[in-house]
């Protein structure tokens, strides 16, 4: 480029401002799993708010405060139920019903079991107490819990807790394993297994 051309080029560029390049927009790196979990939780809460509470307050057999609770559906292995009774399973959640009315307990128990199922919990505990703070000779809330729990299809078994966890004033509950959990267990068992190979056939 000659000096004349260079001078002409600079004259043409006078008053021209350089383009302002915007800063790079940072990518949203929020884990998809966290977003999916939040969405599932919100959906579960909406479902709980609209689901009809089928637990009732009539026709309940009143139990002695120290009467041990025990319930097991067909198909629950005896060894599994024995471990539950011995308090050998970690409890994923706990609900305390002390000092609630029967109607309040009805709402709390229904919501608690439904949420536990929605979040794929397997073992939970409810503490109705033995009614020691009331003037009634029976354990009212404990009697209702004993009536209500079998009405949930997801409740596979329940029993009174060991003394260290509240004794006959607390209840261990085993919930049905979801299809998702069953598949996870199958995947875990199959992981690392070497598929059986057949010996090659020989021709005579």
pLDDT digits (tens, 9 = 90+) for 121-157: 999 999 999 976 666 678 999 999 999 999 999 999 9
Question: 191 to each of 179, 184, 186, 197, how far by Cα in Å?
Answer: 18, 10, 8, 17
Structural domains of the chain, with CATH: 67-173 (3.30.1370.110)
Residue 115 has pLDDT above 60, yes or no: yes
pTM of structure: 0.66
CA 165 vs. chain centroid, Å, equals 21
């Amino acid at each position: 480029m000659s000096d004349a051309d260079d001078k002409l080029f600079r004259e043409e560029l006078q008053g021209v401002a350089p383009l302002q390049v915007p800063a790079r927009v940072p990518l949203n790196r929020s884990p998809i799993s966290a977003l999916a979990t939040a969405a599932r939780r919100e959906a579960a809460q909406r479902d709980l708010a609209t689901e009809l509470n089928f637990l009732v307050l009539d026709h309940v057999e009143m139990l002695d405060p120290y009467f041990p609770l025990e319930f097991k559906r067909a198909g629950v292995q005896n060894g599994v139920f024995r471990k539950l009774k011995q308090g050998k399973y970690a409890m994923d959640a706990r609900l305390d019903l002390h000092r609630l009315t029967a109607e309040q307990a009805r709402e709390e128990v229904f919501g608690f079991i439904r949420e536990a199922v929605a979040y794929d919990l397997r073992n939970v505990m409810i503490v109705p107490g033995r009614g020691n703070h009331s003037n009634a000779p029976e354990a009212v809330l404990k009697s209702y819990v004993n009536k209500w729990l079998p009405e949930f299809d997801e409740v596979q078994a329940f029993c009174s807790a060991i003394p260290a966890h509240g004794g006959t004033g607390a209840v261990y509950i085993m919930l049905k394993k979801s299809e998702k959990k069953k598949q996870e267990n199958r995947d875990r068992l199959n992981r690392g297994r070497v598929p059986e190979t057949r010996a090659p056939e020989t021709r005579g």
